[in-house]
Amino acid sequence: MKVLVTGAAGFLGSNLCDLLIAEGHEVIGMDNFITGSADNLAHLSGKEKFSFIRHDVSNFIFVPGKIDAVMHFASPASPNPNSPYGYLNLPIQTLKAGALGTHNTLGVARAQKARFILASTSEIYGDPLEHPQTEAYWGHVDPIGPRSVYDEAKRFAEALTMAYHRFHGVDTRICRIFNTYGPRMHLDDGRVVPNFLQQALQNQPLTVYGDGSQTRSFCYVDDLIDGIYRLLLSDEHEPVNIGNPVETTILKFAETINTLTGNSAGIVYMEEARGSGDPQRRRPDISRAREILGWEPKISLDEGVKKTIPFFKKKMGLE
Ligand code: NAD
Ligand code: UDP
């Protein structure tokens, strides 16, 4: 296939480009570098199967030649209010990437009769009242809260994707991605994995927000990309959760990171660092992914963190 990947210079997009090329496909990467980095694609430069277009997906997209698949991953993705990469500091761009960017990429898929996959998110469930989250859950989202710029953009993106499928017959898929970590994630986007790993590798205490009883379920990037690729090859049009169902409290996660890195500086608690919008529990129900895609994550949290540490050490100049 010839595949257009938007958000190709980002954490997930660049890992996706690698898998697609390894599987023998041709990739056109598209990105405007608003949160991504050319470094993530440097190793693909000059490869016959890879080309790149610098472009903002909120504007009309022109791609030369025939395209077989469109994978729409372009969007800021970090909820951290202090990060320049965070969607709270890029609110309009985030709404536009989810709304106009999804419209334009669906337009490409329709014109090209290409299959389409939307990178959606667990955030469409908001601060969930049902646990774990199945795809049938409609979510608990404040439409005007600070996080709404991301959550509602993705909810609109899902609605638009289903409308193009139902009304125009576009061959669409929706992947609801849960917290993912691994090489090429941003070091300074303020999410918990980069924060904790950097603090631990500098022998500093880990900053646990609140009392650390909130939970997340962390998926290693290779597992996630494998699930997304299976969804792309499938004929499933309804949303599918892709994530790791092993749930951990943030406090337990901090202790794990300290153990795996040999950090003896412990933990500091920071009250109210995220405010009331911080989801208290998050865990995917992946029954549909298991059933439809024959997929489940294979890499444990300990194993995934160990695979991620060398990337952080290199980026931090520690080796
Ligand atoms: P990222 O910030 O590393 O990558 C996003 C990429 O999109 C960046 O390279 C950025 O420059 C690009 N981009 C943003 N707006 C653009 C625009 N208007 N035009 C062109 N390019 C644009 O983030 P990520 O973690 O790789 O996330 C990728 C996708 O996966 C996003 O859609 C995100 O919502 C979704 N997602 C990620 C996670 C996660 O845990 N990482 C979880 C749920 C959903
Ligand atoms: N968190 C934390 N310390 C940090 C960064 C994050 O305790 O230094 C917590 C945060 O409050 C949230 C969880 O870790 O409950 C996951 O946050 P992240 O920013 O990774 O993404 P989210 O899952 O909220 O989208």
With respect to residue 262, please indicate whether it lies within any of the assigned structural domains: no
- Closest-CA residue to 251 (of 264, 266, 272): 266
Residue 175: pLDDT above 80? yes
| Residue 276, pLDDT score | 63
Confidence of residue 254 (pLDDT cuts 50, 70, 90): very high
| pLDDT tens digits along 4-43 | 999 999 999 999 999 999 999 999 999 999 999 999 999 9
| Residue 169, pLDDT score | 98
* The two structure tokens encoding residue 10: 């980002």
Q: Kindly state if the Cβ of 199 falls inside 6 Å of ligand 2.
A: no
Taking residues 156-180, report their average pLDDT.
98
CATH of the domain at 20: 3.40.50.720
Q: For residues 124 and 158, is the Cβ–Cβ distance under 8 A?
A: yes
| Residue 10, pLDDT score | 97
CA atoms within a 13 Å half-sphere pointing along the CA-CB vector of 161: 29
- As to burial, measured by CB atoms within 10 angstroms (0-12 exposed, 13-18 middle, 19+ buried), residue 162 is middle
| pLDDT tens digits along 121-136 | 999 999 889 999 999 9
With respect to residue 44, please indicate whether it lies within any of the assigned structural domains: yes
Q: Kindly state if the Cβ of 278 falls inside 6 Å of ligand 2.
A: yes
Per the annotation, the verdict on 150 as an active-site residue is yes
> For the packed helices 11-22 and 221-233, what is the interaxial angle rounded to 10 degrees?
60
| pLDDT tens digits along 255-298 | 999 999 999 999 999 986 666 668 888 899 999 999 999 999 99
- Using the atom order of ligand 1, give the atom closest to the CA of residue 34: 11
- Write down the catalytic residue from 150, 164, 220, 229: 150
| Residue-wise DSSP of 32-84 | --SS--GGGGGGGTT-TTEEEEE--TTS-----S--SEEEE--S--B--TT-T
| Residue 272, pLDDT score | 64
pTM: 0.95
With a Cβ cut-off of 6 Å, ligand 1 is lined by: 6-7, 9-13, 31-36, 56-58, 73-77, 97, 101, 119, 121, 177, 179-180, 186
The total domain count for the chain is 1
| Residue 275, pLDDT score | 62
Domain of residue 107 covers 2-186+219-246+283-299
Residue ranges of the alpha helices (H) in the chain?
Answer: 11-22, 91-112, 148-168, 192-201, 221-233, 250-261, 287-288, 301-315
With respect to residue 110, please indicate whether it lies within any of the assigned structural domains: yes
